[in-house]
Amino acid sequence: MSASDETRQGTGGVRARIRSAFTDAGVTGWMHALDLGTGAQIAVGADTPVSTASVHKLCLAVTVQRLADEGRVDLDELVESDHGTRTPGPTGLSMLRGPVRMSVRDLLAMALTVSDNAAADLLLDRVGLTEVNKAMRALGLRRTIAVHTMRDLIAAVDEDSGGDGARLSSDPALLARLRVLDPARANRSTPREMTRLLAALWRDEACSPERARELRAVLGLQVWPHRLTSGFPYDDVRVYGKTGTLPTLRHEAGMVEYPDGGRYAVAVFTRSARPAARQPTADAAIGTAARLAVHALRAP
């Protein structure tokens, strides 16, 4: 199926349709879509601060590449990691039992493609949160702020839930205590700033062209297609992205590329009213909102 097979939608009422998609999925949503060619935008609460969850790994990745440009990080440096000191998580190095020796470049790939918490923290141990924030400020993203590592995030969830994380999917009162859901106390950004970061990466402004190409290629290898990619089920459309997930939060920021050269940066952040761990309708709403926005930007 080709993207051209689907009828293009005009801009009239697109924001209302996006809000309706969020409502139908039982989520509150904030999003921003930017046409890199024309500068046209679609915004729904685009300047609202949100807790970014693992979407912030994109900020870390850009920082690592910028420091590599400066000669302060060696992407080929081999990093040792053992099970006892790794940040926990469900993917990547976090789930492995044995010792691992991996390059900085490959740690970066793991952090982005499978949202590996252990890989991300091994990188953060090298560059530090301060450097991540300095890089975002240098790019003009003053509302994109990192305040904790992934291990600190997990520790905060454990502390706030009293060590009973299983109850988070069934106890709204317990969820309300989680600091990591509060953008005033967690890693945070806005949908508009995340699309600005993506635009800078696609325009070779976030880091050197060589490292930007490398990072874009990795973002195209993300293993989960159930959010942003679900809105573009076409063989000739490329979707790149980074997801973020915490209890009630489901996010994705990425780039949509059409075969005619159209490039669209999209960031969609959602918060569900339901505490359930599995919410496919909320995941699908991200793809729906992105599709509505991009099709409106492409409309004659």
pLDDT in tens, 74-95: 999 999 999 889 999 899 999 9
For residue 175, the enclosing domain spans: 3-298
Q: How far apart are the C-alpha atoms of 105 and 160, rounded to whole Å?
A: 34
**Residue spans of beta strands (DSSP E) within the chain:** 27-35, 41-44, 50-51, 78-81, 100-103, 188-189, 238-246, 249-257, 263-272
- Does the pLDDT at position 8 exceed 80? no
CB burial of residue 2 (10 Å; 0-12, 13-18, 19+): exposed
Structure tokens at 144: 């994109």
- Does the pLDDT at position 50 exceed 70? yes
CATH number at residue 139: 3.40.710.10
263 contacts 257 by C-beta, under 8 angstroms: yes
Q: What are the tens digits of pLDDT across the range 255-299?
A: 999 999 999 999 999 999 888 888 999 999 999 999 999 999 998
pLDDT interval class at 37 (50, 70, 90): very high
- Does the pLDDT at position 252 exceed 90? yes
Beta bridge partners of 268: 31, 252
Q: How far apart are the C-alpha atoms of 300 and 297, rounded to whole Å?
A: 8
Total of domains in the chain: 1
pLDDT at 73: 98
pLDDT at 12: 56
Q: How far apart are the C-alpha atoms of 90 and 221, rounded to whole Å?
A: 18
198 contacts 255 by C-beta, under 8 angstroms: yes
